[in-house]
Amino acid sequence: MGGGGYVAGPAGVAALSLRLPLVLTEADRHLGLANRLLARRARRVCLAFPIDGLGGDRYLVTGRPVPASIGHSDRAAARDRFGIGADARCLLVFGGSQGSRTINEAALAAFAGREPRRFHVLHISGHRDYATAQRELDATSPERYTLVEYEPDLADSLAACDLVLARAGGSVFELAAAGRPAILVPYPYASARHQHANAAWMADAGAAVVVEDADLDPQRLSALAADLLADDARLEQMSAASAALARPDAADRIADEILAAAEAR
Res 265 pLDDT > 80: no
Q: Can you tell me the distance from the alpha carbon of 27 to that of 19, in angstroms, rounded to the nearest whole number?
A: 25
Strand ranges for 79-160 from DSSP E: 90-94, 120-124, 145-148
CATH of domain 75-244: 3.40.50.2000
223-262 pLDDT, tens digit per residue, is 999 999 999 999 999 999 999 999 999 999 999 999 999 9
15-39 pLDDT, tens digit per residue, is 999 999 999 999 988 898 999 999 9
For residue 148, the SS3 value is: strand
Opening angle at CA 120, ends 117 and 121, nearest 5: 105
Q: Can you tell me the distance from the alpha carbon of 191 to that of 181, in angstroms, rounded to the nearest whole number?
A: 25
Beta bridge partners of 184: 166, 210
pLDDT at 200: 96
pLDDT at 93: 98
Which residues in the chain are classed under CATH 3.40.50.2000? Answer: 8-64+247-264, 75-244
pLDDT at 99: 85
For residue 6, the SS3 value is: coil
pLDDT at 192: 86
Looking at every residue in the chain, the average pLDDT score rounds to 95
Rg (CA), the chain: 20
Phi then psi dihedrals of residue 226, to 5 deg: -65, -40
Opening angle at CA 185, ends 120 and 7, nearest 5: 115
CB–CB of 187/195 below 8 Å? yes
pLDDT at 6: 85
pLDDT at 5: 84
Phi then psi dihedrals of residue 108, to 5 deg: -65, -40
pLDDT at 213: 96
Tell which CATH architecture fits domain 8-64+247-264: 3-Layer(aba) Sandwich (3.40)
169-193 pLDDT, tens digit per residue, is 989 999 999 999 999 999 999 888 9
Strand ranges for 127-254 from DSSP E: 145-148, 163-166, 182-184, 208-210
pLDDT at 30: 87
pLDDT at 195: 94
104-122 pLDDT, tens digit per residue, is 999 999 999 878 899 999 9
Strand ranges for the chain from DSSP E: 23-26, 44-47, 59-61, 90-94, 120-124, 145-148, 163-166, 182-184, 208-210
Average pLDDT (45-55) is 93
CB–CB of 75/239 below 8 Å? no
Residue 259, judged by CB atoms within 10 A of its CB (0-12, 13-18, 19+), counts as: exposed
